[in-house]
Amino acid sequence: MTEETETPAVDLAGIRDAVSVRLPAVSAYLSVLRTATAGLAARLDFTLDQIEDLRIAVDEACAMLLRQAVPGTDLVAEFELTGQEMTVRVEVNTVGATAPKRDDFAWMVLTALADDVDAISDSPDHTAIVLRKRRGAARPA
């Protein structure tokens, strides 16, 4: 007689996906990051408009950081997918970290495309920008 055991169901809503991408801090490599952003957003079933918003936001955040990046260093992007939200953190080593100006046009673009945006300068030579986008969330007005 064979004993049957029931396999518990896996709750996919509770799974946390995290992806890190490290690439040279040079604008020529940003196309790789835009492609990764789109692919990961598609995993969360974001709409085409939301995917494009994220691609542009990540590109803009990276462009802001690359202006301050130490030549020859890397840009690191960390993507976290949880439920219906994607968090993207892009960071570089900088020459004298200064937080991005929040009244700058590029910052306004970021805040229009992502649901939440923050800049973090946790040391004098390191700056990060964190973007959050939720599936189905309306753009801020």
Global pTM reads: 0.82
Residue 115's closest CA among 90, 140, 88?
140
- Round to whole Å and give the CA distance between 127 and 77: 12
Structure token pair of residue 27: 């604008």
Predicted confidence (pLDDT) per residue in 23-52, tens digit? 999 999 999 999 999 999 999 999 999 999
- Round to whole Å and give the CA distance between 66 and 70: 8
Q: What are phi and psi of 46, to 5 degrees?
A: -65, 155
Residues of the chain with pLDDT under 70: 1-16, 97, 137-141
Model pLDDT, residue 9: 38
Model pLDDT, residue 76: 97
Model pLDDT, residue 2: 46
Model pLDDT, residue 66: 93
Partners of residue 79 on adjacent β-strands: 19, 88
Model pLDDT, residue 5: 45
Model pLDDT, residue 139: 53
Domains, the chain = 16-134 (3.30.565.10)
Neighbours of 114 (CB within 10 A): 28
- Round to whole Å and give the CA distance between 102 and 118: 10
